[in-house]
């Protein structure tokens, strides 16, 4: 993917991201985020872009609730893990799983009701990259 820091790729290649939010202190982050989403998201069948959605830890539960979710992540191993997870969870299909960069989202303007931008806002440390993404 374009311009990703080597240390970021090396870290995510350890394949720990999916478990991070499912165990230990990460569970608190996941539970709190899900409660905020439940409170503020429009009702299904709204369209959600989960940009930087990693392995789909939020995308799959949202799809199960009836949302049309498009998962986009710049890390190839996350895409592979999300695709593998999708094969084991046919009851909560994600509309698409795509390798992509938050700074150049390959979707039409106004094609989603909501854009989740959790990872990109802390991985993109340059103001110009954040503005490009937003």
pLDDT in tens, 48-90: 999 999 999 999 999 999 999 999 999 999 999 999 999 998 8
* Domain span holding position 81: 6-133
Residue 2: per-residue pLDDT: 57
Q: What is the CATH number of the domain that holds 88?
A: 3.40.50.150
Q: Does residue 1 lie in a domain region?
A: no
With respect to residue 62, please indicate whether it lies within any of the assigned structural domains. yes
**Per-residue model confidence as pLDDT tens digits over 17-44:** 767 888 888 899 999 999 999 999 999 9
Say if 102 falls within a structural domain.
yes
Please, how many CA atoms are within 13 Å of residue 97, restricted to the half-sphere of its CB?
23
Q: Looking at the domain assignment, is residue 116 inside a domain? A: yes
| 95 in a structural domain | yes
Counted domains in the chain: 1
Claim: this prediction has a pTM higher than 0.85: yes
Q: Is residue 61 part of a domain?
A: yes
From first CA to last CA, the distance across the chain in angstroms is 19
**115: pLDDT strictly greater than 80:** yes
Residue whose entry in the numeric block shows the structure tokens 């190839």: 76
Pick the closest to residue 78 from 4, 23, 26 (CA basis). Answer: 4
DSSP code of 106?
-
């Amino acid at each position: 993917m374009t311009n990703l820091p080597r240390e970021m790729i090396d870290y995510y290649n350890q394949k720990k991201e999916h478990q991070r939010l499912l165990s230990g202190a990460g569970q608190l982050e996941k539970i709190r985020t899900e409660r905020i989403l439940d409170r503020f998201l429009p009702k299904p069948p709204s369209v959600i872009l989960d940009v930087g959605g990693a392995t789909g830890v939020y995308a799959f539960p949202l799809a199960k609730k009836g949302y049309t979710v498009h998962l986009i992540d710049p890390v190839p191993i996350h895409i592979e893990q999300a695709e593998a997870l999708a094969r084991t969870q046919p009851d909560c299909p994600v509309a698409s799983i795509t390798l992509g960069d938050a700074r150049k989202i390959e979707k039409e303007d106004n094609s989603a009701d909501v854009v989740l931008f959790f990872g990109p806002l802390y991985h993109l440390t340059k103001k110009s990259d954040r503005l490009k993404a937003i």
